[in-house]
Amino acid sequence: QVQLVESGGGLVQPGGSLRLSCEASGFTPDYYALMWFRQAPGNEREGISCISSTLGTGYASSVKDRFTISRDNPQKTIDLQITSAKFEDAGVYYCATAKKRFCGDTWAVKDNIESWGAGTLVTVSS
């Protein structure tokens, strides 16, 4: 049974940094692309970043050059480093997989996702 467990959420000041982590179990995450999605109150869940089995990455334009996704296959974790946080970065961050090897052009389509974590809340406030 696929399990994705996020951690690291909390309060960050505008301009500040925060590191989110997702631990995968119940499958072999090495073979698959893994993603981070975000949902702000009243908004649709949106794709933020993807990292493929071959370490290719993709980012939403709103976070490119501020967020960095990485993975540690032996630890079965993926991380999302948030820097230069903005108010609009607030929301619940979800780890996800579509059980595909590569990110491709459709990684941010939430309907393609097979498994979701429960999410971790990020609040941006001064």
Tell me, what's the pLDDT at 30?
87
**pLDDT for residue 28:** 86
What does the buried/exposed string (b/e) look like for 36-61 if buried means 16 or more CB atoms within 10 Å of the residue's CB? bbbeeeeeebebbbbbbbeeebbbbe
50 Cβ neighbours under 8 A, 6+ residues apart: 33, 34, 35, 36, 57, 58, 59, 69, 103, 107, 108
Residuewise pLDDT in 10s, the chain (126 residues) = 899 999 999 999 999 999 999 999 988 888 999 999 999 999 999 999 999 999 999 999 999 999 999 999 999 999 999 999 999 999 999 999 998 999 999 999 999 999 999 999 999 999
| CA 116 – CA 88 distance, rounded (Å) | 22
